[in-house]
Amino acid sequence: MRPSILDPLFAPATTLSGVGPKLGKALDKLLGDETRPARVIDLLFHLPTGAVDRRPSASISDAPIGEIATFSARVAEHRPAPPGKAKAPYRIIVEDETGDVTLVFFHADIRHLLQTMPIGEYRIISGKLELWDGMRQMVHPDRIMDAKAFATLPAIEPVYGLTEGIGARVMTRIAAGAAEKCPDLAEWQDSGFHARSGFPSFITAMQALHHPPDLRAVQADTIARRRVGYDELLASQIALALVRRQQKKAAGRVTAGDGAIRRAIEATLPFSLTDGQRKAVADIHDDMEKPERMLRLLQGDVGSGKTVVALMAMAAAAEANRQSVMMAPTEILARQHAERLAPLAQSAGLKLALLTGREKGAGRRQVLEGLANGEIDIAVGTHALFQEGVVFHDLALAVVDEQHRFGVHQRLLLGSKGEAVDVLVMTATPIPRTLSLTWFGDMDISVLSEKPAGRKPIVTRAISSERHDEVVGAVGRAVDAGAQVYWVCPLVQESDTLDVAAAQERFEALREVFGAKVGLLHGQMPGRDKDAAMAAFSTGETRILVSTTVIEVGVDVPNASVMVIEHAERFGLAQLHQLRGRIGRGSAASTCLLLYKGPLGPVAEARLTIMRETEDGFRIAEEDLRLRGEGEVLGTKQSGSPDWRIARPEIDGDLLAAARDDARLLIERDPQLETPRGQAVRTLLYLFERDVAIRLLRAG
């Protein structure tokens, strides 16, 4: 059981003072997931992505131009818009003995300004200071405060990833509230640790991260972040070590088939398998026939045809009269897999069922019964497949698709659904061997290195968003020629600023041009509407699908040959590659248009260049690591893997190595985590939700 000292952290975010139901909902969207609301700990680990320096300058003339400036000044004059020019801004002049600044307000609430900025009073003003015609001005100051209010604000203000309904000031306040709930936990390191490493304690590190003493304190390589990152790596390494120990003990079962069902399926495929696919199927089959458990990673770039390999593996299980599950990271993908695979399975006499959180009532009961009595051979679904109440008659194989969206802890749960279940993990993310070890433990690896025959290269172009109209024209011509188009907008949920091209808005604008040919798909739509939108695009009823990145993973519509990605500069390289992998699947030539809003930073520019130059997932992954190593600060969500909230194992190699050694030593000395330090380690595992591994310890 989770130690009760952690309870305040695992309580819903709404237990924080000042977080009501409405704010709670917004937080759920940002930090929760399908199965749970946002919790205090999610806020604790939602670290600042930057910081703003609001330390005041001595005077107006000292205030830096072109940056965030903070200064105290006297309100000198209100200048309303001239009569007849209602749209002109409202201006307020503030001054001190060294100079003045014009504050500019568009669509101003004049009554409010008159109230908060009476002439003659002193105010502390903070915002971006600019020169306009040689005069200092500030458009919409971030803060206008009296001295008392100013004293309550941190001088170094952390900047958090935000979402609709949560402004910067609110987020800063509730994150501070979450940091306050952080308990002072017993140290899980040995007594010499602090002196050796120079690391602060966990709680000191957490406080420093949410209350940065200076601008450097929020960067990825500060000692506080490294401490917490190390802790996370340590938790994961200990969990993996426990799992490995267990795996060595637990024997697997022999699953041997005669190949009949596999042959039947292969005969109905509209294509023949590539050599790589054949080899992977053979590897998997060999593993399944052995009395040890299979733990195999199938690695293949997007579009390389991993799904059919999984189907053949599941067919092999069915030949031995045993069941399989295939798990997808999203509802949409699970449904698509089920739809694609059901006819193939059926033609070979297999029964396939879908199980997600949305199957309810009688339908759900039927599936659960079928799984329990063995009538259903293959279950396709989301993590609903893990839930209690899902019982299998004889589960042989679990396939986990698009691994990078799954956490280690979820993977560990798999094993509990059947004795010695064979596990096949499929990922499009090429992972260097050393990393795959730390992410997946001791896995064998099969690689699909060639793409199915007949694919044409994708032409990728980077285009300034100023040429939006031309792009719309080109999309129109492509649609007239019979193509289908994905139009991708950045995630609404993670929008930091208001100018994110929201999918909704784009949808409406494109509807004006193309009418009913345009569909919309985003994560906040109800599940039913998502299905309908996806189905309409699959069948060709809609020709242009405006979406957020929900299409990133796995979706397969071969006729789609054009992709437009808006604000491509905001996406990571791996994400762009995943997205682009949705096209170039049919026989038609494909085009990917990366719309960017300049000016581009050097890293964003390098990303777009690499995307233009290559489609090779391995090269892209390498470049991605290299660019990320060049010091971009990553927020928790950007790291792209739910396994890591703070650590960046691909970059922090030294921390990873240390964590691995420390974990090994720890387990060796205290195999059941029974000593006082062992107890503290248990708390660590709960803290980072690697606690499934604790079940593997001797009870008591």
Q: Which residues bind ligand ADP (CB under 6 A)?
A: 271, 273-274, 277, 300, 302-308, 428, 452, 554, 556, 558, 585
Cβ-proximal residues to 588 (8 Å cutoff; 6+ apart), any chain: 456, 483, 559, 561
Q: Please identify, using beta-carbon distances, which residue of 235 and 380 lies nearer to Mg ion.
A: 380
The listed partner (ligand ADP, Mg ion, none) that binds 585, CB under 5 to 8 Å by sort, is ligand ADP
Q: Please identify, using beta-carbon distances, which residue of 307 and 446 lies nearer to ligand ADP.
A: 307
The listed partner (ligand ADP, Mg ion, none) that binds 305, CB under 5 to 8 Å by sort, is ligand ADP
Residue holding tokens 């991708």?
Answer: 488
- Residue whose Cβ sits closest to ligand ADP: 305
Phi, psi of 474 (to 5 degrees): -65, -40
The listed partner (ligand ADP, Mg ion, none) that binds 141, CB under 5 to 8 Å by sort, is none
Q: Which of residues 421-460 bind Mg ion (CB under 5 A)?
A: none
Q: Specify whether the CB–CB gap between 336 and 484 falls below 8 A.
A: no
554 binds Mg ion per the rule CB under 5 A:
yes
> In 3D, which of 247, 238, 383, 244 has the Cα closest to residue 687?
238
Residue holding tokens 């070979």?
Answer: 348
407 binds Mg ion per the rule CB under 5 A:
no
Q: How far is the CB of 274 from ligand ADP (least distance, A)?
A: 5
Residue 268 CA: distances (Å) to CA of 376, 399, 652: 21, 22, 48
581 binds Mg ion per the rule CB under 5 A:
no
C-alpha 153/C-alpha 169 separation (Å) is: 10
Q: Please identify, using beta-carbon distances, which residue of 235 and 309 lies nearer to Mg ion.
A: 309
Q: How far is the CB of 380 from ligand ADP (least distance, A)?
A: 13
Token representation of residue 282 = 């053979």
Type of residue numbered 58:
A
Stretch that binds Mg ion, among 179-187, 551-559, 575-583, 597-605 (CB under 5 A): 551-559
Q: Please identify, using beta-carbon distances, which residue of 279 and 567 lies nearer to ligand ADP.
A: 279
Q: Please identify, using beta-carbon distances, which residue of 51 and 302 lies nearer to ligand ADP.
A: 302
Q: Please identify, using beta-carbon distances, which residue of 127 and 300 lies nearer to ligand ADP.
A: 300
Stretch that binds Mg ion, among 219-227, 554-562, 582-590, 594-602 (CB under 5 A): 554-562
Q: How far is the CB of 318 from ligand ADP (least distance, A)?
A: 19
Q: Please identify, using beta-carbon distances, which residue of 177 and 300 lies nearer to ligand ADP.
A: 300
Q: How far is the CB of 302 from ligand ADP (least distance, A)?
A: 4
Q: Which of residues 68-127 bind Mg ion (CB under 5 A)?
A: none
- For the chain, what's the residue count? 700
Token representation of residue 600 = 């581009």
Q: Please identify, using beta-carbon distances, which residue of 457 and 599 lies nearer to ligand ADP.
A: 457
C-alpha 499/C-alpha 490 separation (Å) is: 11
The listed partner (ligand ADP, Mg ion, none) that binds 568, CB under 5 to 8 Å by sort, is none
> In 3D, which of 580, 588, 326, 618 has the Cα closest to residue 482?
588
Residue 184 CA: distances (Å) to CA of 42, 299, 680, 684, 685: 18, 42, 11, 12, 16
- Residue whose Cβ sits closest to Mg ion: 554
* DSSP letter string, 391-430: --SSEEEEEE-SGGGS-HHHHHHHGGGSTT-EEEEEESS-
Instruction: Give residues in contact with Mg ion (CB under 5 A).
Output: 554
